[in-house]
Amino acid sequence: MKIRGSVAVVTGASSGIGRATALRLARRGADVVLAARRGEALQEVAAQCRRHGVRSLAVPTDVADERAVRVLAERAREEFGRIDVWINNAAVGSFAPFLQTPLADFRRVLDVNVMGYVYGCRQALEQMGAQGAGTVINVASIVGEVPQPYTAPYSMSKAAVRALGVSLRSELRLARARNIHVCTVLPPTIDTPFFQHGANYSGRRALAMPPVYTADAVARQILRLLGRPRPEAVVGLIGRSLVAQHRLMPRPVEAFMAVQVDRGQLSRREPAAPSPGSIYGPAAADAAGSVDGGWHGRARTVRRNTLAALLPAAAVAAAVRRQRRS
């Protein structure tokens, strides 16, 4: 599809991947409808988008509220007359051992990360069906392929997002809706405020586990999918390598990831008080929003850490040989 002149709805647009994607869409000439819970931050992003000569609309939205998502779609149609792109990106997370995660928080993560995407897909596909064309982009995660310890609700939600994409693509194929696409993006660790804002009952500060990619790397992948849709796209070398290795030999990769998360994502030196973070409401400390989270997600950081983070080739080969013998 042509991005210039299109109308794109972006959820989670106040910070991180959503903000980076909205700005990149605006630079390419798309009108944008911005959704998130932080009205002040949305207005700032909307103003930045308008500087590129496009129209933008900020609609404060809690995606876990089905009525609010319906209003978001209605506002987009009223203002622009159509919806060409819908990007489901808003998500929350929780860091805690399974038995220490409050069930209310567990449900909230699933409500935002799964039902929020369901509500968005329903609104988007209804409009795109009437138009005869459009693209939905669902932002999942490589943890939807390789679930991690201490993040059960988040890992479950991202696996569900992948399953949602497969199911919707199957229905569209049966309906011969060739000009309507549903694509799923699987990012690795991204430099956003996500880790500061998540609920945390682990007793340890949550960190961005290296290598860390920029939010703009995901935004670039999203725009590539708009130009050439495909079912799934993994962001970055480490993400693609990890997914491929997991499909080849899941048990060694899962064991490796478990150790990496325990050592690299939850600090052993910095404690953290129990907190629901921002899963129920916006983080007051970041009212203005930001793209990055201060984790130094730059290309050179990725290159420097990729070899250290990937499974060594010799270990992979040995594990495959052991698996074949057994």
**Which residue numbers are catalytic?**
154
Residue by residue, DSSP assigns 289-309 as --S--SS---HHHHHHHHHHH
Query: Could you give the dihedral angle defined by the CA atoms of residues 46, 47, 49 and 51, in that order, rounded to the nearest 10 degrees?
Result: 160
Residue 313 three-state SS:
helix
CB atoms within 10 A of CB 174: 8
Rounded CA-CA distance 319/52 in Å is 51
Contact criterion met (CB below 8 Å) for 108 and 280: yes
Q: Copy the structure tokens of residue 173.
A: 């194929």
Helix (H) or strand (E) holding 199: strand 199-200
Rounded CA-CA distance 197/200 in Å is 9
Rounded CA-CA distance 318/326 in Å is 12
Contact criterion met (CB below 8 Å) for 238 and 257: no
